[in-house]
Structure 1
Amino acid sequence: MGETAILTTFGATLFALLNPLGMLPVFMGYTEGLGPGVQRWLALFVALTVLGLILVFLLAGTSIIDFFGITLDSFRLAGGILLLSIGIRIVTAEPGKAAKDLVAMTELGAVAEAKSVYRRIVVPFAMPLLVGPGVIANLILHAGQARAIKSDTLLIGMVLVSVGICALTFVILLAGRLLRRLLGDVGLSIMTRVLGLLVASIGMQFVVTGVTNVIVQSIAPQVLKLH
């Protein structure tokens, strides 16, 4: 698989797993009643937090699994099963109700009020609702793939793609009200399920690749002994 194809798969998987469209009802629930300025700052804070988490796991995730002595194929199998289960859950789940734990309105400025709301929703909204186990597994797997082929260019490309995906997440959260008016609840539900199907398919591909690698690595030594 070429680097362009890997980057395309990485970007599509990351966007599908973050699922900012599916999280729109939750974000809109948290920001209902807040001013436009507060909503903009809050969307920016969430997007920057998501980017920071992604970069940590993308750049250091492989070192973490090496420290614990986990092989990439073992992690690929576990991550694939996890992605498959998450995808199935996204496709079959009932549409989530927006959260109603709202912060009381105050006379604070937009930035200060956004910080107040952010402290209350960063967990669980930024993590684990956006950056969940599936995202972490996906980041570690793709970073390991870049290091396996010793391509710094590919790793830098993944960082740039991550920045772009987080920027898109910011735009989606910022335009939540407009997107909901355009797509409607049914449209958002359909989009969420399409993303879930993509996640399940990629998870199955991880499982197939992991099983294939394990079988090849087990059979190859036996074949060499016969010769």
Structure 2
Amino acid sequence: MLIHFAAALFAIMNPLGNLPVYIGATESARPGERKYVAVLLALFVLVMLLIFFWAGESILHFFGVKLSSFRIAGGILLLLGGIGMVHGKEGKKVTELADKVSEESDLRAAENLLQKILIPVGIPLFVGPGSISTVILFAGKTPSFLSKIGMSGVIVGMALILWILLMVSDRVGRLLGPMGLDIAARLMGLILAAIGVQFIIDGLSLEIVNFMN
């Protein structure tokens, strides 16, 4: 069960495939700033996934939100973010933000940058309908408290892997170069838009099935 959970979570989060998005969003940041952003983003993903693992179903039920509706909303966010990346708008916004915080400390600048890129990089790219539904689904399948502790450890491991990949993102950026980053970001934007459309279709399909039943 733990192996299946780890494989499913890694596949749905896709930290390697989503790395160009993070690189494009932080390309104008200073090295120290990027390190803080990597730590803060990994911690955010860790806390959010743990919260939804232990109390996700109750949270959605409290607000009267279905997973299908959450999937549609996340799909719309991904679609809009992907369109912005294809047109190069996200990079311009981040560049403008970097100019404003150039005189601030790395930590403060990282906090400002994180607020700017939290959507769509943090939500729904890493913590989205797919990862949330995955942790809720596996939590529901595991009544044993010890097994849930083990799965919580898997989530911690995933956050660690994400942090490591984000920390070496500047090296990947140097390897690709400005033109390579621009091409990768635009291609990833197209893929994100397609994933967003798929999320919307899946959410609508679930709603139709529920309505017919």
TM-score (norm 2): 0.68
Q: 2:171 aligns with which of 157, 178, 188?
A: 178
Give distance in 1, aligned partners of 2:150 and 2:119: 25
Q: Which residue, 94, 104, 109 being the options, matches 1:117?
A: 109
Cα distance change on mapping 1:160 and 1:195 into 2, 3 Å: farther
RMSD of aligned alpha carbons: 3.6
Deviation at 1:190, TM superposition (A): 1.9
Matched, 1:97 2:96: no
Shift of 1:191: 3.4
Deviations 1:89-113 (A, max 9, x none): 355442322413233447xxxxxx3
Q: Which protein has the bigger helix share?
A: 2
Q: What is the distance in 1 between the residues matched to 2:34 and 2:5?
A: 34
Which stretches of structure 1, 4 residues or more, deviate above 6 A after TM superposition? Answer: none
Q: Tell me by how many angstroms 1:130 deviates.
A: 2.7
Task: Sort the Cα spacing of 1:207 and 1:176 in 2 relative to 1 into closer, same or farther, 3 A.
Answer: same
Give CA-to-partner distance per residue, 1:97-141, whole Å, 9 cap, x none.
2413233447xxxxxx3322233233233x333332573544442
The count of aligned residue pairs is 199
Percent identity reads 19
TM-score by length of 1: 0.65
Q: For 2:129 and 2:184, how far apart are their aligned partners in 1?
A: 28
Which of 118, 122, 134 is the aligned partner of 1:142? 134
The one-letter code of the counterpart of 1:63 is: S
CA separation of 1:3/1:170 partners in 2, compared to 1, >3 Å: closer, same or farther?
A: closer
Which of structures 1 and 2 has the bigger CA Rg? 1
| 2:54 corresponds to | 59
Distance 1:92 1:37, change over 3 A: closer
Distance 2:50 2:141 in 1: 20
Aligned match for 1:131, one of 114, 122, 130: 122
Q: Is the 8 A contact 2:74 2:128 kept in 1?
A: no
**Contact 1:77–1:211, Cα closer than 8 Å, also in 2:** no
